[in-house]
Structure 1
Amino acid sequence: MLSSKVILNSLLDNDFYKFTMQHAVTKLFPKAKARYEFINRGQHAFPSGFAQVLRESINNMGALQLSKVEKEYLAQTCPYLDPTYLDFLQGYRYDPDEVSIEQNGPDLSVKIAGYWYRTILWEVPIMSLISELFYKMNNLVGANDEEIINTAKSKIEHYAQLGVTIAEFGTRRRHSYHTHKLVVEALKAYGGQSFIGTSNVHLAMQYQTKPIGTHAHEWFMFHAAKYGFKMANRLGLEHWAQVYRGDLGIALSDTYTTKVFFSSFDKMFAKLFDGVRHDSGDPLVFADQTISHYQSKGIDPKSKTIIFSDSLNYEKVARISNYCQDKIGMSFGIGTNFTNDVNLPPMNIVLKMTEAHPDDAQWTPVVKLSDVRGKYTGDPKMIALSKEILGIKD
């Protein structure tokens, strides 16, 4: 059983926005704490002994450290990351004691707790371990290497024919690290101008493509815990701009619904940020809302970009591309459909921040509302309170 463990080989085998958020947290909220919890949306049944093997894989992460070459890569590629942060990251080590794991029959519990600047890096690699171990321990054999490469090649060539740009966002629910590498290698080899990068920093470095990402829902969720729901979007954007001064300018819009977000996304933010990311709800409705919002601020929508990233496949991308053509800039981030298309059902799992502890406050439940009720996460009472405060009606 112990031979089933999965070993991660790089501290940078993680989504880029985890590092950009960690950089901001170390600057602005170094005393804040956070708690995260695994959510098994797909009700997957985990095999006997899964928790033990996951525990060993996570324990092995304690040995990961940023290499000198990786540090130099970040310094050259991401000049907006402070040298002090890169020094910190070079000294950072995962602490497996921050992660608790339990298994009760087929049910798996994973919880993370500690200082936010430390725990923020756990989510993506733990999810990738859970996904890879699930297939491995259930003896689920998918496509072979040639099939994986050919599938990725065919997809990126079809996207190139649409004339759209594509980034790979599939670390957290990948079939395996090996599959992920094959996919990025194929996208780089056959994507031409259409493939613009990956959210995985390790693979971006390995295949000399751009690391892509800005911030995630937890950035705004923490701001709600510290400043209240009404100020979460505005102060989240202000603090992001304070740290990055115009770099990393794609704003995530749906933590508390797009309608609420745009009420805070005033002319200053609309001009400062390069665009917005769509992650839930009808993409065409979102496009109309975004275009209308920019027009209402006297801004040409074609000077801005929407990054679409919600469960995309070729059909959805083609529909969105056709609809948005000549109306607004667009690009697409595709995750599971790239890294877990191996003739096996992909997992439906998430690992979300559940509570935040600002340094001058107390433990506070955090929630994400999104533009789809089924994607709400968090304490039901806090969800109800947030909706009341923000005037959100179903």
Structure 2
Amino acid sequence: MIIASLLDTDLYKFTMMQVVLHHFPGAQVEYRFKCRNEGVDLVPLIPDIEHQIEALCSLRFTEAELDYLRQFRFLKSDFIDFLGLFQMNRKYIAISPSAAGNGEIDIVIKGPWLHTILFEIPVLAIVNELYFRRIAPSPDYAEGRHRLDDKIATIVDDPEMRGIRIADYGTRRRFSARWQEEVLQVCSDRLGEVLTGTSNVMLAMRYGLRPLGTMAHEYLQACQALGPRLRDSQIFGFETWAKEYRGDLGIALSDVYGLDAFLRDFDMYFCKLFDGARHDSGDPFEWGERLIRHYAANRVDPSTKTLVFSDSLTFDLMKALYLRFRDRVIVRFGIGTNLTNDLGYTPLQIVIKMVACNGQPVAKISDNPGKNMVTDLDYLQYLRKVFDIPAELAPAPVSPVGQIAGGE
């Protein structure tokens, strides 16, 4: 059983789920899976994926897990009580070979948002682990440990990195559950206060670490269908978030419509209200410089705000970003694949993204066109017009049957 606990997921799944319970309990959504690696045959994994999902759907939160969640002031008692009744339902997820016949698989998650939101992270972790069990039945853990030691040394042996702060964001694309846990143990022992925590709630509970996370793309995407009008959907998402959390969890995601659109909506009110922003696409150096200028233009001291970098990070890139911004803003890093899936094998670039809410297409158009995902041409054109998105950031649409572009 790959997933042994419903806490084996990212914190932002729970923080978004609480918003869904309190504000959008009737929302209906659809998610789809995409593997961006070419030539990877995942079809032979389908029986094992099915078996693991059956096991996932048998899990319930334990009393110890619920008690752990109750200690966080931003999680309300009625939400924890709901989790005490919660169980994933197998009828909401379907897996099949792609009609393209090229080794791709279709994973479709469709149903009430409140009852489907927790599928994404464990299903991605299941696909990853089963794939690497097949291609590397005897993993080279020695190589993985050597690489991890080298990365840690670049931080602990460099006096210029004394103030850097790093978190583990690697659950969805980890090599395996066992390897993520070992990596986190080693990082906790050797990095000390440099390691600020992990997005994985189960491991945070197990090792006394801080669980980290706020919102993901699906939240702002869903607001395209749930808000009063499309143009105000990003504003609606931020205002609803602030209403729910009253100052907690104050890191805003900046790349659902591209940075230009984010900055237009992230006015002085939001600059002062939110603690900072998270980068997840586009040039991180340019993004940081523009955020600093934006805060200053809105009469906010940038040094009081946090910039979280989480896009395709390596240790070398984190070090360069830290040296660029450390004296001007609070800098934080969330590193995923390069931390939890670096044993010498090519990682899978897999995602599960929301593509519809309440029967309406929803989309993400980021500053990295390779991460975009759109299934409806008319909606794409409308979205571009409403948010004044340059054509080079908007991809050609793809078939709604499993063929989406996506990234994280």
TM above 0.5, yes or no, is: yes
Structure 1 residues 249 and 261: alpha-carbon distance in aligned structure 2, compared to 1, 3 A threshold = same
Summarize the alignment of residues 170-209 of structure 1 with structure 2, pairs less than 5 Å apart: 170-209=170-209
Could you give the per-residue CA deviations for residues 86-134 of structure 1, whole angstroms, max 9, x where no partner exists? 0111111011111100025522110001100111100111001001111
Report if aligned partners of 1:168, 1:335 keep a CA contact under 8 Å in 2: yes
Structure 1 residues 139 and 158: alpha-carbon distance in aligned structure 2, compared to 1, 3 A threshold = closer
Task: Give the match for residue 24 of structure 1.
Answer: 19
The amino acid across from 2:194 in the alignment is S
What's the secondary structure of 1:191's corresponding residue? helix
- Pairwise CA distance, 1:50: 1.3
**Residues of 2 paired with 1:150 and 1:217: CA distance?**
34
Correspondence for 2:374 among 367, 370, 378: 378
Bigger mean CA deviation after superposition, 196-205 or 159-168: 159-168
Report if aligned partners of 1:249, 1:273 keep a CA contact under 8 Å in 2: yes
Structure 1 residues 338 and 239: alpha-carbon distance in aligned structure 2, compared to 1, 3 A threshold = same
The amino acid across from 1:391 in the alignment is D
**Residues of 2 paired with 1:373 and 1:141: CA distance?**
36
Could you give the per-residue CA deviations for residues 204-246 of structure 1, whole angstroms, max 9, x where no partner exists? 1111100000000111101112234311111100000000000
The amino acid across from 1:134 in the alignment is Y
What's the secondary structure of 1:42's corresponding residue? coil
Give unpaired runs (5+ residues) of structure 2: 393-408
Report if aligned partners of 2:221, 2:362 keep a CA contact under 8 Å in 1: yes
Task: Give the match for residue 301 of structure 1.
Answer: 302
Could you give the per-residue CA deviations for residues 336-375 of structure 1, whole angstroms, max 9, x where no partner exists? 0011001100001111001001xxxxx1011100111221
Task: Give the match for residue 99 of structure 1.
Answer: 93
**Residues of 2 paired with 1:308 and 1:194: CA distance?**
15
RMSD: 1.4
Report if aligned partners of 2:43, 2:105 keep a CA contact under 8 Å in 1: no
Task: Give the match for residue 288 of structure 2.
Answer: 287
Summarize the alignment of residues 1-394 of structure 1 with structure 2, pairs less than 5 Å apart: 6-46=1-41, 49-76=44-71, 78-104=72-98, 106-144=103-141, 146-160=142-156, 161=158, 162-163=161-162, 164-227=164-227, 228-357=229-358, 363-381=359-377, 382-393=379-390, 394=392
The amino acid across from 1:42 in the alignment is N
Q: Structure 2 length normalisation: TM-score?
A: 0.91
**Residues of 2 paired with 1:16 and 1:8: CA distance?**
16
**Residues of 1 paired with 2:152 and 2:305: CA distance?**
24
Task: Give the match for residue 3 of structure 1.
Answer: none
Report if aligned partners of 2:143, 2:344 keep a CA contact under 8 Å in 1: no
How many residue pairs end up in the alignment? 382
**Residues of 2 paired with 1:275 and 1:38: CA distance?**
30
Report if aligned partners of 1:159, 1:166 keep a CA contact under 8 Å in 2: no
**Residues of 2 paired with 1:65 and 1:378: CA distance?**
34
**Residues of 2 paired with 1:61 and 1:204: CA distance?**
20
Q: Percent identity over the alignment?
A: 36
Give unpaired runs (5+ residues) of structure 1: 1-5, 358-362
The amino acid across from 1:38 in the alignment is F
Q: Structure 1 length normalisation: TM-score?
A: 0.94
